[in-house]
Structures are given as structure tokens and as C-alpha cells.
């Protein structure tokens, strides 16, 4: 047995992540409709499914029309609040009697005259496993009279986006997976057997991800015990079958996924309906039997077995004898811009030094656009060796090749990887390498490998789980572990930690919510890998424990006894005392987005703030958008536009009605400190961040430092997540370490010398905001108060003021639009200006053979020589750009948009009416080439004179405007696909990319980059919150040391885990004193300035400066400040800083600069002056 430390540490960079629901009143047997139309099927063609022989894609179910078939599967069919439609349905009978329901839906739409008929047959307690169980998804349509052929809408032009993915809903998930992976998910059928807390979490994540179907199986009924680990169940569900009780709430998460159930004992043959099967509560004997069947099935069925037992968890994956991973890490292929290539054996390739190369020895790369040594442009992959930050060798003899001249791009070729999984029966004996998560637990996985086998044996022999706190059961369990170990020849453990095994046995029956959340994220991601071949699977065992979360004081068996409450499972692990602490906790949670929803669910199930003494305060000023629904699972489509915090709080209250929660819509900032005042902060036990930006995190971090409150921090970025524990006096604070600022492209690169699509999109976003938001806003500012506006511009008298006036004058002068044809003309002229004239001017100023002052070619890497575009109405992308630009221009002027704009021929007619003037390049035009320049505006000694002239012209234009004229500034909104915003930005970027020979991107990719969309998926979010809540147990116990806490970085794509104890705070020492960032010195009794200085002098500290905010209350170099010695500090704050201290404030803070007797500066803590 070995330990797997991670697949590729070199590929990971440290990072601080910033983060960042559909259905209605569904019932069994109701088919989804929307706007009177049937829900669109997402079953791919058979040819698509079979194009990847190693992938277990969705099998096309055999269609059997008008034929009843008994089945043990129960469906919760999705339903939207449709319009129109005729529904006949017979409801399920009461009392669990066997009933058959038939459903027929006939919908006659207004637009396409199609008829949709769905036949649904469902019968209980039968054992058919025929593929027609999936027939409920089959929608048979027959077209009516065909309408007259129409010209295709221009809306389809230039947009290669597929219509089978709701990009509004799945945009953040698409940013992680891409379209092909999403399509594979949409074709996949998944079985989840075991619907306790872990099964519910896995199912939730997969339904949100959008697989084709999720089938639930569980033979047991809901117990009160289940309620501390399963967010689906309520007390009303006790006694119901777990799977049946889960269907409706899971279906609400995504009405595009068919959620169904299987009752009764599961048979091997039933597994053939699925591409992936997941078992969370199964005996080893049965698991081995099912696993063997899955491996022998053609194609193989991916098999996952996972368990959560108290604070211990395990995962086993077997995706078949040969499983192909198409994309190991999900990262974009690395690229480099070539600067030189030698004629050597092996050849040395040098790249420009604006970015470090990410190639590693053994990578395969291809070359393109190389001038001179064109032999490398043949597309042949070449192997990298001797990789360095800005150069590498290739295994190729280039001595006979032509000499390198210039240019060239080198791109990594990502290779598929074939994995040979072992079957479970073999892997139990020879597990291979374990995936290690915590380096301090190097020897833990082999022991847990035995413990989980022993637990299965215990249950088989004794018919029950070990009883919590029972020493007798613990000894029996330990004996079983020792017995299994003694049978091993290879991998036998020399020492066995019996205390750890006691903890394992004691909590084995409990499924804790934080553990379920963490493993639900991990297993959910493994299912996605099995369905798609995207990312590297877990190979094959993973074991994890959080035994440090246990209370530090030993627990008596009586503390673990059930109290007949919903928290009994949690009490069996942590005891009733910690449970009381959790219920009485006063918690502040900042944010209620993806992280916030998961946290609320976890806290509600754990019983946090669920007593009269406890209180959970949540705040978020954001509202719900459609794109939130794919991962923020407390929201539904009818909540769009509502406040996140109030909706999330209401949903959490349904999970646990005892939750004492207050929802606010305030942003936590210095401006809201009257809401979140000193009393509020002082009463808190812990703060949980669920934020999506660094600045907000830093502010909360400072407040927690000030009031010495624990802060539980986390974030996600695609498949990556991290957690950080900020514990008073034990750890460093969040702001103690900062990531380096993100590298920004120089201004001149973006505007004149782009060499990648990011540059083009950055420029496009800037132009969009300048044309459609900033300039109209400037026009309105001028028209609202012309005299004040022009006076301000005159007083500034700089290049920026001149530019503002020029843009306003141009907008309401020669470029003012009065009719839609004017907008079309404006768009045509913009096209010529951007993509023809500016390029002609640039290449006139810097010809292709231009050289720099030192004689080197001006157009050398990374610069790319541009070519002007020639407009053509026959180019769909040109026409599409004009449509988007003219529509948005019309919107800013309040001009009605005619329907004909979507017709290619009619728009082309309008374009042909536009006369484009000839362009002649000018001499002596200055084009910025300095990479350090921060603005393109050039100052001139004539700025003041030009501004005065512009003001006169503006006045003349204003007098010609109609009364009440006002423009409509457009704020960029990336998530509305009907507003043309992204259409224009993608058009701008792609036309510019075409100028410079840069590969273009589709609208979705443009949306990711220009919209600065943070990739996000439900699985990594669930894992992060589960890990944080395991730390919350420690915080609420109160007795844990630094080495007990854990910070985590994980990348589910690899998978990689790096768990370690937090970093302690920096300690500052002076004489006999020591302090950290957590300390604050307090002076009470309303001291004077002299008393403060003396108080510090007694500590051998000489204060030479005291400030309050930005005001200086005292500085030793100013003689007049000595007159302030006997004044109260509060009076100085009021007189000097002119501050009004509110009645609810009893103190204020000053920053004191001190030095020791040797004139060395000493950084002392903040000083709080109490004056009341």
C-alpha cells in the first residue's frame, strides 16, 4: 500500500479565491411545460453517444408506444408553470395501494402547430428493468402544416452557440466544463443507492449539474436520527421511504432532470440502465457483486462506493478496465510567443519574457505562424525537454532547417490518458496508492482501509452498528481490525492506533452533515468525471477523518445517549454539551450566494442558532439572478429578482423550523457600522464569510480582528476551493498575506498592439462602456447643468477634460441620431474607423519593415502586424456586428427599433445606403508605444484654448437639441442574452482579432472573459462549506489549539488535497512585552493626552505621533501641540478632527507611532480610548 500525494503539484499555483431552481409545485406524473410548449428533450443522437467508445454516455432508451409495462421505478416529473395545455391525470391512490396512472398531454402551440403526446405508465412494487423505464422522457412530435419558408433571422448569424444548453442558467458551470462535457452530462443516467445525508448531497449536486436523470434507491424509511444529516427530510417524513421522500425536493432543483425512485431490493440487472452507479450504504459483499457486474457490462458501468461514518469517510472508484480521461486537469493548453529558435540538435526555443512558460519536461507542443523555419508549422507534436521559465528544448534536429526569422506561437497539446482500474475485490487486498489529504496523518489511510472493512464485518456479525460510547463494542471492533491486519502478508500494519479506532466505532452510525457535504462534493465531481472523461478520476481509494473536531474534554458515555431529538446522530459523536453550544451560538454570516446557501443548509442541520438564546444574522445586498440557480440551491426560478438573504433565510427555516435567523440586505461596510455596531459585534460567537470579493473579505477580517472574533473563511474557483481559519490569538488574520496583484496588460498593448484574445476583449469592453455608458452619461451631466459642467472642465484644463468635451460634442453634434437609419450609419462608420482606418493609420505610422531606435524590427514578438478589414454585407459576422451596434445606439437615443433589423437582406439594404468617406493616413500622428503609459490622452499647451473653443461649440449644439433631450446610458449586463451587450462586445473583439490574426472566440467564451465571470460549480462549493463546518465544531467547543485547526486547498479536478494547520500570527516583542495583530490596548476613564503619553512611557515606549483617522492629534515636532497635553483625548478628537461621536459609542481608536530609547520604531497595537 502506498500514498498518493497528488498528481501534479507543479501545476498548482497558490491562490486566494474569490467567489463568486427551478421547478414549481411538482407532483408525480406531471410533465414539464413552459409557455404552452413541452420541455425540450436533451437526448443526443445515437451517433453522438457512440463517438467516444470509452465513455459511458447515455444509452438511447428503446421506445415502446402505447404499451404498458410494469416497473418499480417512480418518477417525479418536472413541471413548470406552463401556459395553456390540456392535462388529464389520475392521481396516485392513498394508503400506498398499487395504482396505475396514465397521463396524456396535448399542446397546440401558436407558432409551430406541433402536437406533443406523452404517455406515462407507472406501477408500484414491480421489478421490471426494461429500458422503457426511461420512456417517460420520450416525446413524440408530428409536425402540422408547414408554414411558408421565411428568411432566416439574423439572430442566428455569427453565433455558433448550440441551443441545447441554457447558457443563462449554466454560464458559470460552462466556464468550468465546456459545452462538450455539459452535453455528455445531459446524456447520463445516474443511480444513487442510499439516501441518508451523503446520498442526498450527491443527488443535489448532480441534479444541479444537469445530468439526464437521477434515480434514487433506498429500502429503509426515514428516522428522526436522519434529520441531523439530510437537508431533504422533515419530521413529517419520518416513517416514509427515504427515496420516495427525497424525490420532490430534489426535482425542484432542476426541472430539466428526471428524478425517479427504485423501491425494493436492488438487482444487478437494474444497473444496466445507468452510466454511473453510486452506493453510500451497502455491504462489502453486495458491493463486490455489483462492482463485478458493472465491470463486465458492455460498456462498463462506472462504480462508486462511498461512506460517511461519524468523522470518518471513504471513497472507492472503479470506472472500468480501461477508462479514457480526455482532459486531465481542465486547464487551458499553455502557450508561448516565440522570440527565437536555434538551428541545433536539439533545438533551443526562446520565448518573450512577458509571461513565464508553464511547460514541463515531457509535454507535447505544436508550432504555428513561425516565419523562416516553416518546417515546424506542420502540426506535428514535439516533445519538450529542459523546460525553463522562458525557453525550452525540443527533441528535434533543426540544423538543416531554414533560419528562424520572426513570429510563431507554441501551444501545448493535451494528451488523453487511459486508466486501468482494479475491481473492488482485488483493490481491497491490494489498494495501491491512497490519495493523501493531510500530511500530518501520513499513516492514517492504511488503518482506515482496515477500519471500514472491519465495520462491515461488525455489522454482518452483530446485526447493528457499534453503540456510541460502548467500550464493549469498541473492543469487538478493534479485535476485528487486528484480525484483518493479521491476515495480511503485504502491507501489514506494525502498530494500530486503538484510540482512533474507538472514535471510529463510537460514531460509526452517525452521518454528520459537514462530512456529508464534503464527501457529497467530492463524489458528485467523480460522477461528473465518469460521465464525461473530464478531469482525472480518484484512483482509487480516498480516506479522510476530522477526529480533531471532537471536543477536547473526554466524553462520558452518558453524554452520547440519544435525547429523542433531530440532533441525536450529532450528539452521539460530540455529546450534548457541544450541541447546546451550537444551538446557543450567535453567528454572523456575510453573503448568501452559492457558499451562503450551502452554509445555511449546514448550520440549520447542525442546529446552530436553533435555540431562543442563539441567533444567526445573515446579510446580503444582492438579488437573485437566473445564473445563480445552477448552484445556489435554496433559490427557485420564481425567486428571480428577490433579495437573496430573505429567500435563503426562509428556505433554511424550512430545513429546520427551530432556526432563529434574521435576514438583512445591508452591505457590511464602514457606512453600515450603525447597523452592525459595537454591541452587535461584541455579542457574536463566530463570523462566517460567504463573500465573492477580496475587499469585502478584508473589511470583515479587520472587524473580526478588532473585536477578536473567530472568522471562518472560504472561497471557490471552478474545481478549486480553499478554507482558512482565522482564530483570535492562534492564527494569522486573512489580510496578513496577500496574493500578488493580477498582471494587467499595458495600455498601449490593449489599444494598438494586442496579441491575444484577452487583449481584444478588454479593449471591446472598454469601447462598449465608453460609447454606450460613459459618453451618454457625460452628455446628461452637461445638459443637466451646462454652466457648472463647462466651468469644471475649464478649471481642470487638462487632456482628460478636453477628451470629455470632445466626446460630448461629437455625440450630440455630428454623430447625433434622429432615426434608426442614422444608427445604422453610425455603426457602419464605427466599423470603418475601428477595423480599417485605425489599422491603416497604425501601419502607415509603423510600416511592416519599421525598426526601433536600436535597429531591431518594430513588429517583433509579441507584436503582431495588423491588416485592415474590408466590410462586406455577405459576411454574417460583419452584419451581426452592425445589427448589435445600431440597436444599442438607438437605445441610447430612445429611437424605436424596427423589426427589419433582424432581416439580413433588409439590414444590408440599409447599409448600402451609407456613404463611407475615403480615409487618408496622416503624418505625425502620435501612437503610444510606451508600456508604462497609463493613459492615451496626451497633454498639450493648447488644451485651455481648445477647451474654450469646445465649450462654445457645445453651446451651439445644445441650442439645436429638442426640448427635454436626454440620453439613456447603457450599463453592461452580461447575463441577459437578449440585450445585445455581449453580441456587440464579441463582435468588437472578434473583428479586432481578425485584424491581428488572432484566433476568434465564440460568444460564450467572450462572455466569460469580458464579463469577468468566475467559474463556479456546486461540488467545490459543497466541499468547502463542509470543511469549514468541521472547523466550526472546534470553534464552538473552545478548547482547541493551533495544531487542531486545519486550512485546506483542494482541486477536485486532479484530485488534489493540501490540508495543514494554520500559520500563527507574527509576534512582536519589546522588553518584557509581546503582542500580535490580535491585541488592542485599552485606556479607560477618559484619559488626557499627557496620561496616554505617560502610560506608554511606563512601557518604555516614546510616542511621537498620535492620529485619529486622517487627523493628527499630536506630534512631538510641533511646539504648539504641547499645549494640548492636559486636554481630554475625546475633546481633541472633536475639536481637531471635527468628528461627532455617536451616543452609542463609548470609545474611539487612535494610532500611535512609538520608538524605544534607542530611536528604533516599534509597531504597537491599536489604542482604544474609552471616554464613557
Distances (CA, A) of 735 to 222, 558, 701, 703, 731: 45, 43, 7, 11, 12
Q: Using CA atoms, how far apart are residues 934 and 1025, in angstroms rounded to an integer?
A: 41
DSSP state of 962: P
Residue 982 CA, chain-centre distance (Å), reads 21
- Provide the 3-class DSSP secondary structure of residue 394: strand
- Provide the 3-class DSSP secondary structure of residue 583: helix
Beta bridge partners of 1048: 723, 1059
Per the residue annotation, which of 351, 610, 748, 828 is the catalytic one?
Answer: 748
Q: Using CA atoms, how far apart are residues 856 and 845, in angstroms rounded to an integer?
A: 16
Distances (CA, A) of 1033 to 700, 863, 896, 1020, 1039: 21, 56, 60, 21, 11
Contacts within 8 Å (CB) and 24+ apart, 806-811: 806/950, 807/770, 807/774, 807/775, 807/778, 808/775, 808/778, 808/779, 808/782, 808/954, 809/950, 809/953, 809/954, 809/957, 811/775, 811/776, 811/778, 811/779, 811/967
DSSP state of 554: P
Q: Which residues contact 321 (CB under 8 A, 6 or more apart)?
A: 295, 300, 420, 421
Distances (CA, A) of 47 to 57, 139, 740, 840: 11, 19, 48, 48
* DSSP string computed for 83-141: SS-EEEE-PPPGGG----EEEEEE---TTT--EEE--EEE-SS-----GGGGGGG--EE
Q: Using CA atoms, how far apart are residues 998 and 991, in angstroms rounded to an integer?
A: 10
* DSSP string computed for 683-722: T-SEEEE--S-HHHHHHHHHHHHHHT--EEEEEEEBTEEE
Q: Using CA atoms, how far apart are residues 559 and 567, in angstroms rounded to an integer?
A: 13
* Known catalytic membership, residue 748: yes
Question: Based on the number of CB atoms within 10 Å of its own CB, is 667 exposed (0-12), middle (13-18) or buried (19 or more)?
Answer: middle
Residue 149 CA, chain-centre distance (Å), reads 44
- Cell numbers for 75, please give them: 418518477
Distances (CA, A) of 602 to 227, 409, 579: 11, 48, 14
Question: Based on the number of CB atoms within 10 Å of its own CB, is 411 exposed (0-12), middle (13-18) or buried (19 or more)?
Answer: middle
> How big is the chain by its Cα radius of gyration, in Å?
34
Distances (CA, A) of 660 to 144, 683, 903, 960: 57, 15, 57, 62
Determine what percent of the chain falls in helix, strand and coil, rounding each to the nearest 5.
40, 15, 45
Count other Cβ atoms within 10 Å, centred on residue 738.
10
Helix axes 197-209, 513-532, angle to 10 degrees: 40
Q: Which residues contact 949 (CB under 8 A, 6 or more apart)?
A: none
Q: Using CA atoms, how far apart are residues 848 and 387, in angstroms rounded to an integer?
A: 32
* Torsion sign (Cα): 335, 337, 339, 344: positive
* Torsion sign (Cα): 1053, 1058, 1062, 1066: negative
- Provide the 3-class DSSP secondary structure of residue 1123: helix
Beta bridge partners of 586: 615
Residues with catalytic function: 748
Amino acid at each position: 500500500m502506498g500514498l498518493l500525494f497528488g498528481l501534479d503539484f507543479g501545476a498548482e499555483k497558490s491562490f486566494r479565491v474569490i467567489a463568486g431552481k427551478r421547478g414549481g409545485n411538482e407532483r408525480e406524473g406531471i410533465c414539464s411545460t413552459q409557455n404552452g410548449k413541452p420541455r425540450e428533450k436533451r437526448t443526443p443522437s445515437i451517433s453522438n453517444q457512440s463517438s467516444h467508445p470509452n465513455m459511458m454516455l447515455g444509452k438511447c432508451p428503446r421506445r415502446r408506444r402505447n404499451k404498458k409495462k410494469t416497473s418499480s421505478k417512480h418518477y417525479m416529473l418536472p413541471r413548470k408553470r406552463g401556459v395553456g395545455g390540456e392535462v388529464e391525470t389520475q392521481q396516485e391512490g392513498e394508503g400506498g395501494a398499487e395504482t396505475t396512472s396514465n397521463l396524456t398531454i396535448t399542446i397546440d402551440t401558436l407558432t409551430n402547430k406541433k402536437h406533443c403526446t406523452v404517455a406515462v405508465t407507472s406501477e408500484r412494487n414491480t421489478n421490471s428493468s426494461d429500458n422503457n423505464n426511461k420512456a417517460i422522457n420520450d416525446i413524440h412530435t408530428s409536425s402540422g402544416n408547414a408554414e411558408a419558408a421565411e428568411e432566416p433571422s439574423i439572430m442566428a448569424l455569427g453565433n455558433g452557440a448550440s441551443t441545447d444548453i441554457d447558457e443563462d442558467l449554466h454560464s458559470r458551470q460552462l466556464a468550468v466544463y465546456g459545452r462538450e462535457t455539459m452535453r455528455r452530462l445531459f446524456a447520463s443516467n445516474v443511480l444513487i443507492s442510499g439516501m441518508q445525508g451523503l446520498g442526498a448531497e450527491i443527488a443535489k449536486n448532480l441534479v444541479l449539474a444537469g445530468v439526464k436523470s437521477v434515480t434514487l434507491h433506498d429500502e429503509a424509511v426515514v428516522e428522526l436520527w436522519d434529520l441531523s444529516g439530510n437537508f431533504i427530510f422533515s419530521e413529517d417524513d419520518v416513517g416514509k421511504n427515504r427515496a420516495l421522500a427525497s424525490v420532490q425536493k430534489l426535482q425542484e432543483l432542476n426541472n430539466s432532470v428526471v428524478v425517479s425512485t427504485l423501491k425494493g431490493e436492488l438487482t444487478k440487472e437494474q444497473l444496466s440502465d445507468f452510466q454511473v452507479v453510486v452506493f453510500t450504504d451497502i455491504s462489502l459483499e453486495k458491493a463486490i457483486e455489483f462492482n463485478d457486474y458493472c465491470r463486465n457490462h458492455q460498456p462498463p458501468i462506472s462504480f462508486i462506493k462511498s461512506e460517511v461514518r461519524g468523522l470518518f469517510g471513504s471513497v472507492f472508484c472503479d470506472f472500468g478496465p480501461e477508462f479514457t480521461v480526455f482532459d486531465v486537469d481542465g486547464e487551458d493548453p499553455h502557450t508561448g510567443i516565440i522570440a527565437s529558435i536555434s538551428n541545433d540538435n536539439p533545438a533551443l526555443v526562446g520565448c518573450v519574457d512577458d509571461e513565464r512558460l508553464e511547460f514541463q519536461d515531457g509535454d507535447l507542443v505544436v508550432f504555428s505562424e513561425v516565419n523562416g523555419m516553416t518546417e515546424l508549422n506542420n502540426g506535428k507534436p514535439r516533445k519538450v525537454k529542459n523546460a525553463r521559465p522562458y525557453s525550452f528544448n525540443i527533441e528535434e534536429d533543426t540544423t538543416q532547417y531554414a533560419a528562424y526569422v520572426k513570429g510563431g506561437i507554441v501551444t501545448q497539446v493535451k494528451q488523453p490518458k487511459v486508466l486501468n482500474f482494479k475491481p473492488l475485490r482485488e483493490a481491497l487486498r491490494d489498494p495501491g496508492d491512497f490519495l493523501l489529504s493531510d500530511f500530518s496523518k501520513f499513516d492514517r489511510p492504511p488503518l482506515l482501509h482496515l477500519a471500514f472493512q472491519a465495520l462491515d464485518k461488525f455489522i454482518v456479525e452483530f446485526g447493528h452498528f457499534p453503540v456510541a460510547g460502548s467500550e464493549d463494542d469498541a473492543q469487538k471492533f478493534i479485535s476485528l481490525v487486528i484480525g484483518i491486519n493479521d491476515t495480511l502478508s503485504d502491507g501489514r500494519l506494525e502498530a494500530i492506533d486503538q484510540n482512533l479506532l474507538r472514535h471510529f466505532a463510537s460514531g460509526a452510525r452517525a452521518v454528520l452533515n459537514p462530512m456529508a457535504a464534503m464527501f457529497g462534493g467530492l463524489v458528485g465531481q467523480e460522477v461528473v468525471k465518469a460521465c464525461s472523461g473530464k478531469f482525472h478520476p480518484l484512483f482509487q481509494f480516498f480516506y479522510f477523518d476530522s477526529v480533531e473536531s471532537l471536543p477536547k474534554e473526554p466524553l462520558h458515555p452518558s453524554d452520547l445517549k440519544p435525547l429523542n431529538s433531530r440532533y441525536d446522530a450529532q450528539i452521539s459523536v460530540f455529546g450534548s454539551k457541544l450541541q447546546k453550544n451550537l444551538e446557543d451560538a450567535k453567528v454572523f454570516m456575510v453573503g448568501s450566494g452559492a457558499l451562503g446557501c450551502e452554509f445555511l443548509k449546514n448550520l440549520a442541520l447542525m442546529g446552530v442558532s436553533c435555540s431562543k438564546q442563539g441567533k444567526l444574522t445573515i446579510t446580503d445586498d444582492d438579488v437573485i439572478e437566473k445564473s445563480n440557480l445552477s448552484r445556489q440551491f435554496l433559490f427557485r426560478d420564481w425567486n428571480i429578482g428577490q433579495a437573496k438573504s430573505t429567500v435563503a433565510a426562509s428556505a433554511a427555516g424550512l430545513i429546520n423550523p427551530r432556526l432563529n435567523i434574521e435576514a438583512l440586505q445591508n452591505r457590511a461596510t464602514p457606512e453600515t457600522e450603525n447597523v452592525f455596531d459595537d454591541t452587535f459585534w461584541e455579542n457574536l460567537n463566530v463570523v462566517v464569510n460567504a463573500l465573492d470579493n477580496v475587499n469585502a473579505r478584508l473589511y470583515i477580517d479587520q472587524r473580526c480582528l478588532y473585536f477578536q472574533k473567530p472568522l471562518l473563511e472560504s472561497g471557490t474557483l471552478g474545481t478549486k476551493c480553499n478554507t482558512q481559519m482565522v482564530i483570535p490569538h492562534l492564527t494569522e488574520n486573512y489580510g496578513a498575506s496577500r496574493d500578488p496583484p493580477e498582471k494587467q496588460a499595458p495600455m498601449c498593448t490593449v489599444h494598438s498592439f494586442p496579441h491575444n484574445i484577452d487583449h481584444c476583449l478588454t479593449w471591446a469592453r472598454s469601447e462598449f462602456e465608453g460609447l454606450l455608458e460613459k459618453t451618454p452619461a457625460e452628455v446628461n451631466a452637461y445638459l443637466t447643468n451646462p454652466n457648472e459642467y463647462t466651468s469644471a472642465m475649464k478649471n481642470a484644463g487638462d487632456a482628460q477634460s478636453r477628451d470629455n468635451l470632445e466626446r460630448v460634442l461629437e455625440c450630440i453634434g455630428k454623430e447625433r441620431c434622429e432615426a434608426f437609419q442614422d444608427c445604422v450609419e453610425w455603426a457602419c462608420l464605427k466599423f470603418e474607423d475601428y477595423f480599417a482606418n485605425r489599422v491603416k493609420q497604425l501601419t502607415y505610422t509603423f510600416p511592416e519593415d519599421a525598426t526601433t531606435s536600436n535597429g531591431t524590427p518594430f513588429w517583433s514578438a509579441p507584436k503582431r502586424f495588423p491588416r485592415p478589414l474590408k466590410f462586406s454585407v455577405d459576411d454574417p459576422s460583419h452584419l451581426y456586428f452592425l445589427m448589435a451596434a445600431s440597436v444599442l445606439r438607438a437605445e441610447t437615443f430612445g429611437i424605436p427599433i424596427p423589426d427589419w433589423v433582424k432581416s439580413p437582406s433588409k439590414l444590408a439594404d440599409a447599409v448600402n445606403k451609407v456613404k463611407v468617406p475615403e480615409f487618408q493616413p496622416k503624418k505625425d500622428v502620435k501612437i503610444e508605444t510606451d508600456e508604462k503609459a497609463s493613459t492615451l490622452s496626451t497633454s498639450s499647451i493648447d488644451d485651455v484654448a481648445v477647451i474654450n473653443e469646445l465649450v462654445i461649440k457645445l453651446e451651439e449644439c445644445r441650442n439645436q437639441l429638442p426640448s427635454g433631450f436626454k440620453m439613456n446610458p447603457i450599463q453592461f449586463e452580461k447575463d441577459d442574452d437578449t440585450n445585445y451587450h455581449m453580441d456587440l462586445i464579441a463582435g468588437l473583439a472578434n473583428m479586432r482579432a481578425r485584424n491581428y490574426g488572432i484566433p476568434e472566440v465564440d460568444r460564450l467564451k467572450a462572455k466569460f472573459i469580458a464579463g469577468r465571470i468566475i467559474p463556479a460549480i456546486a461540488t467545490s462549493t459543497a466541499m468547502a462549506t463542509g470543511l469549514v463546518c468541521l472547523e466550526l465544531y472546534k470553534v464552538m467547543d473552545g478548547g482547541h489549539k493551533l495544531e487542531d485547526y486545519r486550512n485546506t486547498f483542494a482541486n477536485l479536478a486532479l484530485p488534489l488535497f493540501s490540508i495543514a494547520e494554520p500559520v500563527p500570527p507574527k509576534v512582536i516583542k519589546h522588553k518584557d512585552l509581546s503582542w500580535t495583530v490580535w491585541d488592542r490596548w485599552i485606556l479607560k476613564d477618559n484619559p488626557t493626552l499627557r496620561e496616554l503619553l505617560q502610560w506608554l512611557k511606563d512601557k518604555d515606549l516614546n510616542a511621537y505621533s498620535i492620529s485619529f483617522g486622517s487627523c493628527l492629534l499630536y506630534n512631538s515636532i510641533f511646539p504648539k501641540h504641547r499645549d494640548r497635553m492636559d486636554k481630554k483625548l475625546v475633546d481633541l478628537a472633536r475639536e481637531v478632527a471635527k468628528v461627532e461621536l455617536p451616543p452609542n459609542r463609548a470609545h474611539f481608536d487612535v494610532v500611535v507611532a512609538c520608538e524605544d530609547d534607542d530611536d528604533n520604531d516599534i509597531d504597537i497595537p491599536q489604542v482604544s480610548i474609552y471616554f464613557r
